[in-house]
Structure 1
């Protein structure tokens, strides 16, 4: 039970439905769909579309998505890979001939074919009860009529001013007298509303073919891109087999590569071999272990994670108990590793950021874990002006290094950071969950799970608790981590640095099968909320 004298909020509770998103209007849209007879998947799609309007820096139809959906009573978990592919002309030969050795996140070359709309349609057709014609109506209304900019959105928008100013069309649509809108400003997007109407009327074909696709291709080609209308027409979204690992009497379920859910299984598996830190969740002992486990997992990500349709990704080896035990053994409790051992503990094995995460559970127990993203704030910053589509920059995840598993190639998907999570027990979903924040997400998910299971926090407390993240040779630290802990981490050899903006933002819904109730939580680092009925 939380201390009601202290700031914070209690988890939300309900029985017939629960939604947790990063904006209140998206949570309400999801609940409206549930009350109108839609299931959890329908509600998630409607909420994602709304978030693409009211959190334009984080997500939109110009981005990608991944989804885990657990239909009640089936014992199944359905996984969707809605990440887009590189254009057919994007070969390493072309980049080498142009003398390019690295991708620019604001270049047209960082834009892969957006996969979200194709994924929404495939999910709705296979497992929903409503079509896109109905599910997109709340987003259409908000794009036409406008919506007040919320406080965290305004902060992130302002930080992206230079990126938006660099593209003439983005500057016109997203800046006002050269500045980002303040909190409370009512922002309208008529071009986006028209595009959403076309998708509602024609389905995903209205996005990937015809005038909308032509508008996106024309803008990308004008910026030097290799994209064609044929690339857009050939866009696919694929149902894939989820990956999973046993953990503390549960199973953690993730989407497979090219997503980074693999890292959650690795970090959780390494940490499961340690008892909870006696000094508690904010102690240097707890964080040192977690930092070192994350460093090892992210090292393997950079060596091996890629599109499994084009290269072999050794998921079974990287998540095996023997391998994770070997990683655990290289963690020294007395000091940080100065240099990490080689990826895979041997030669290569044989052949940050903006996102929205949401989850919905309906009264039947169907559970949806859903994530949709432009990657970095406002993605590439490239706006297709006629259609109002802000294009993501997921292609920035590729490498321009011939022979690397994640080297760019025609029709290839890049390494992806967005990862919906799902916890299963005895064949039933017990918690859809996720933590936004670009590269932080595997660290965020495992921090949240440890807070919940190792340190006895309730669902909301587990999201509220202060965070840190090892990145680029330092440890990014939120202000809530005690100074004494940072001093102790520094003595162990880490390099802590305070960050201005908080790390990520998450949502979760716990399904209490014994009582028949639902418990929801939403991260205070964003503007959203969890609500149930």
Structure 2
């Protein structure tokens, strides 16, 4: 008889449904959805949500409000985002009745090549320091969004974040936890303590924190525009500092940067069109998974069963093998997106799944012929799905003097194998984990949403979609439902794996599910609250209302008016 490990036994003991004693809705929901008529904002920090609502009430649209909220989060949640990082967005424009995708990710320094790492006997790009720093794309992303869709002036959009940076704000609970850890981790690097502490002490929950450096940076950006960041004094400070720290970022890299408007791509799942952005992000991983899973039928009461978790996990393994082999900057590498998202390819891959046993897979053969997510909707029907990040929480540890922010370390995700699609090249965008999502039906907007969490993000997208469309949950229940994540599939070289071939589960799944998954050959682990950060807005066209959700795993809030 197959025995169960002591660890698995402890997992089973911990898998208990924590009843909320709710009168309506599913018991795992932490609260009811938020419903409003004129506008809705959902972010990972309540004060940022209120900033977005204030902008909407002043006559700004969803794009203005999203930028204002993102700027506020860069101040209040630097543990996950900031103007030292990159940005991706999907916008539903009510006027043209179309979706627009923006890839605002930065490129590698043009003077940095694989030869440098070979000569210095480095097998991978380090996680911290100056070497993984790529051009920060966020600010250019703001101005691209604002220039195409914005209504208020940029100075007015940035004013709430500037006021909070000058006057101070109280830290919320989870952000304070990560802030303490991040400062301790990065304290050896220049300017970290000066920027992120008060007299050397990292702020705690409820402490009032000010960032006058960031306030001044935002003022300059608002007054002088994006060129001041990429061609002016801010760019000079950034590049001089990085070169002093042994990095390669130069003024040429900053001045030549530009975002890219891209066409979102989709698959149809249960009658709804699910939209993601094409690579260099991993969004189409979620679409590949959904294409495989739509070949199975799921009963409404099947959520949390071993069959449910098994099939999603197997679809994830198959899609992530393709992700590792093919996904890269499409300006510099051919990625067979059309083939990867075709029904015929999904059918081929689905045939490899054994419904009774965990499998191991390789990428298909194809002919080549910590992050923040927010969403905002406005009275005119515009909706924004926006995600923005520094990578590895606060970022690289590189804080340019007196600017108030840390630079990202996305360059770590490049491969140093020249044969890989995601191999480091001068001026190339690295593989990206952060992905916004959108749902339409009959060419009308339905839902903007996202789920934070690195490697988990496409898995989270699939779970949210299935929770709603297969298992009949509302959007708050869908985010609060217990989650699971498979780790250990192939990754682009440089992306470090935690755990190998393991299904990590939160509390809330039945012990029968755990035992059955174990008998199928899945290795199981316990991960409480490790996949947080979901926000969503659902548009009810018939009643002309917005429905918002923000899960309990983070400090976030949904609000409308």
Mean Cα displacement is larger for which, 250-259 or 111-120? Answer: 250-259
User: 5 Å matches for 1:371-450?
Assistant: 371-450=387-466
> Deviation string for 1:285-324 (max 9, x for gaps)?
1001111111111111111100000010111111110111
**1:265 and 1:453 mapped to 2: Cα distance?**
15
Does the CA-based 8 Å contact 1:18-1:531 persist in structure 2? yes
CA deviations 1:313-370 (Å, max 9, x no partner) are 1111111101111111111111101x31x211x3x6537xx11111111111111111
**Deviation of the 1:513 alpha carbon:** 0.4
Partner residue of 1:350? 368
Q: Which residue of the partner structure matches residue 134 of structure 1?
A: 156
Partner of 2:380: 364
Task: Name the counterpart of 1:519.
Answer: 547
Q: Structure 1 pair 67/4, CA: closer, same or farther in 2 (3 Å)?
A: closer
The residue aligned with 2:525 is: 497
Q: Which of 243, 257, 263 is the equivalent residue of 2:265?
A: 243
Retained in 1: the 8 A contact 2:28–2:480?
no
Deviation at 1:3, TM superposition (A): 4.4
Rounded to whole Å, the distance in 1 between the matches of 2:223 and 2:289 is: 44
Following the alignment from structure 1 to structure 2, what is the Cα–Cα distance between the partners of residues 274 and 332? 13
Spell out the pairing of 1:84-103 with structure 2 (5 A cutoff). Answer: 84-103=106-125
Q: Is the Cα contact below 8 Å between 1:106 and 1:393 reproduced in 2?
A: yes
| Aligned twin of 1:171 | 193
Partner of 1:113: 135
Is 1:64 the equivalent of 2:86? yes
Match of 1:509 in 2: 537
Deviation of residue 224 (structure 1)?
Answer: 1.1
CA distance in structure 2 between the aligned counterparts of 1:458 and 1:343, rounded to whole angstroms: 35
In the alignment, structure 1 residue 484 sits paired with structure 2 residue 517: no
| Distance in 2 separating the partners of 1:270 and 1:131 | 45
Q: Contact (CA 8 Å) 1:267, 1:293: kept in 2 or not?
A: yes
Is the 1:215–1:386 Cα contact (8 Å) retained in structure 2? no
Which residue of structure 1 aligns with residue 16 of structure 2? none
Report how far residue 93 of structure 1 moved. 2.7
Deviation at 1:480, TM superposition (A): 2.8
Quick one: distance in 2 between partners of 1:7 and 1:410? 47
Matched, 1:206 2:222: no
Contact residue 277 and residue 285 of structure 1 kept, 8 A: no
**C-alpha distance 162-487 of structure 1, shift in aligned 2 (>3 A):** farther
**Partner residue of 2:73 out of 40, 48, 51:** 51
* Aligned residue in 2 for 1:13: 35
Q: Is the 8 A contact 2:26 2:477 kept in 1?
A: no
Superposed CA deviations along residues 231-264 of structure 1, whole A, max 9, x for unmatched, are 1111111111111112211111111111111111
Using a 3 Å threshold, how does the CA distance of structure 1 residues 517 and 7 change in structure 2: closer, same or farther? Answer: closer
Provide the TM-score with structure 1 as the length reference: 0.95
Mean Cα deviation higher: 202-211 or 519-528:
202-211
The 1:481/1:384 distance shift into structure 2, 3 A limit, reads: farther
The Cα of 1:121 is off from its aligned counterpart by: 0.4
1:223 equivalent in structure 2? 245
Give the one of 141, 152, 165 matched to 1:143: 165
2:326 is aligned with 1:304: yes
Over the aligned positions, Cα root-mean-square deviation in angstroms equals 1.7
In structure 2, the partner of 1:457 is 473
**Are the aligned partners of 2:155 and 2:222 in contact in 1 as well (CA < 8 Å)?**
yes
Rounded Cα–Cα distance in structure 2 between residues aligned with 1:209 and 1:188: 27
- After superposition, give the CA deviation of every residue in 1:16-74 in whole Å (9 maximum; x if it has no partner): 11111111111111111111111111111111111111001110010100011111152
The question of whether the paired residues in 2 share the 8 Å contact of 1:51 and 1:60 is answered with yes
Q: Is the 8 A contact 1:101 1:401 kept in 2?
A: no
Distance 2:451 2:28 in 1: 24
Q: Which region of structure 1 is more displaced relative to structure 2, 372-381 or 460-469? A: 372-381
Question: Which of 21, 38, 57 lines up with 1:35 in the alignment?
Answer: 57
Partner residue in 2 for 1:291: 313
